Chain A
Amino acid sequence: MCVLPTGGEVQERPFQEIAMRDGRFAIAMLAAACAGAQTLPRTPDGQPDIQGMYTRNGVVGLEANPPENPIDPSSKNPLSVSNRGDGLGPYPGVFGQGGAVLRSGQSRQQRRTGIVDPPDRKLPWKPEEDAKRREFLLHMNPAADLRHVELNARCALPGLFQGEDGNNPYQFLQRAGEVMIAYDYNHTSRVIHLDGRPHVGPAIRLFMGDSLGRWEGNTLVADTTNFNGRVAYSREIPYLSERLHTTERFMIADANTIDYEVTIDDPELFTKPWKVAGYFTRVPAGVQSMEFACAEGSQTLVNMFGKPPESTK
């Protein structure tokens, strides 16, 4: 396997270009050798073989100056739980430690994560939509009604961003003409069709969207539309609209790593697209997917609103 030294961001450009830009000529020469030598295994239908089980890292990041979120104050607030696994928040540390098993043996990596475009992480909100979003958040605690209970807590399918990456791996599978990504979280999946079909009609709206893909070298490019407007980006951005259109790039960086970038184009909420990066890292051998049927025993609604008048088991 060809291993390149990494330092800081990893761009989805030829290795040579990154290295030359940085003036690291020695690395450039090594990179050139690596690029030429990088012949990935192929599936029977000729796709680069991306299969395996991975953790996803860094895909959701906070925008600059996010609104105060009453259901989960920001990471600067000691009551925050979604951004910390140190056991110092109100949740016990064990909540974050299943992920430690998934990540055992993985080395820390310096890769692009979070919101990368715009670089200052100030998202191009339409002012009126930002105001609506901020108002919406204020009604989430106490939840004004079911609509203001976060989608994940209602066991909705997670869309592209809400896979609870701490504890839940992703399994990439391939067969002729398609790539399937099986989520541990909520035991859901998405299929990226590679056969050139058109998107489904506009009347069909989906939690996971309709994904069409193609391979550009070692990069899988997925174009996804037909979302149903019930997909959150994060706890600070609790919904995206039906007009959401994503373009994802899964770049096989090495035998254990897929660099990831998604362009989020939602003209209902934003004046222009923005981008988020992250990466997938292969899990240790022996990790298996487990059923995570969120609806099985969720007591969230009862804990918030009390039991329904005639509760049945």
Chain B
Amino acid sequence: MKMLFGAITILACTGASSPVSAHHAFAAEFDVNQPVKVRGAVTKVEWVNPHAWIYVDVKDADGKVVNWHFELGPPNALFRLGWKKDAIPVGTEVEITGFRAKNGESVGNGRSLILPDGKELFSGGSAPGSEGGAKQ
């Protein structure tokens, strides 16, 4: 994990603005009125185009385990930012906030991902090592 945080520091040096580049419009696919927050263990990170996906086993109130899927950034962007495929090992406990997909399944867009030590990933200027410099 140390290597990961080191790689992320390159963000602090970049200043030019660029638009968000999602290949699809958010509101057609996800419901901004259905924010979700889950906590659980990572079961898989899929490094696929056009978006990477992270899968997390989440226990509901009855103890039933549901596997949630959250969309992440495009792999080419994540790679250029220093992320590697194995950056978040299976079994890592994470808390993910995001917005649920319109199909009502256990699927969402990952707005932020917090590790057990409180470090927040993928959320831009608050990413480890960025010191806020990456905000555009």
* Chain A residues within 8 Å of B, Cβ to Cβ: 55, 69-73, 79, 81-87, 89-104, 106, 108, 140-143, 149-150, 152-153, 155, 164-168, 184-185, 235, 287, 290-300, 302-307
Contact = CB atoms under 8 A, between A and B. Distances in A.
Contact of B123 (A93, A98, A149, A303): A93
B46 A297 contact: yes
Nearest to A72: B25
Contact of B76 (A55, A141, A290, A295): A290
A153 B26 CA distance: 10
Nearest to B52: A297
B50 A92 contact: no
A94 B78 contact: yes
Contacts of B18: 55, 85, 96-97, 99-100, 102-103, 165-167
Given A141-B28, A152-B23, A98 B77 contact: yes
Contacts of B81: 94, 97-98, 101
A101 B14 CA distance: 7
A235 to B, nearest CB: 6
A70 B27 contact: yes
Interface of B: 10-11, 13-30, 32, 46, 48-51, 53, 69, 71-81, 98-99, 101-105, 107, 109-112, 122-127, 134-136
A15 to B, nearest CB: 25
B26 A96 contact: no
A100 B28 contact: no
A155 B126 CA distance: 31
A94 B10 CA distance: 13
Contacts of A164: 21-23
B76 A94 contact: no
Contacts of A141: 25, 27-28
Given A93-B124, A97-B124, A306-B105, A153 B25 contact: yes
Q: In this complex, which of B28, B75, B110, B124 has the most chain A Cβ atoms within 10 angstroms of its Cβ?
A: B28
Nearest to B79: A290
B94 to A, nearest CB: 14
A166 B21 contact: yes
Contacts of A307: 103
Nearest to B107: A303
B27 A73 contact: yes
Contacts of B51: 297-299
A43 B46 CA distance: 42
Given A101-B81, A300-B24, 19 more contacts: A71-B28, A82-B19, A85-B18, A92-B72, A92-B73, A94-B122, A95-B73, A100-B134, A155-B23, A165-B18, A165-B21, A290-B79, A291-B49, A292-B50, A297-B46, A297-B48, A297-B51, A304-B28, A304-B101
A202 B13 CA distance: 50
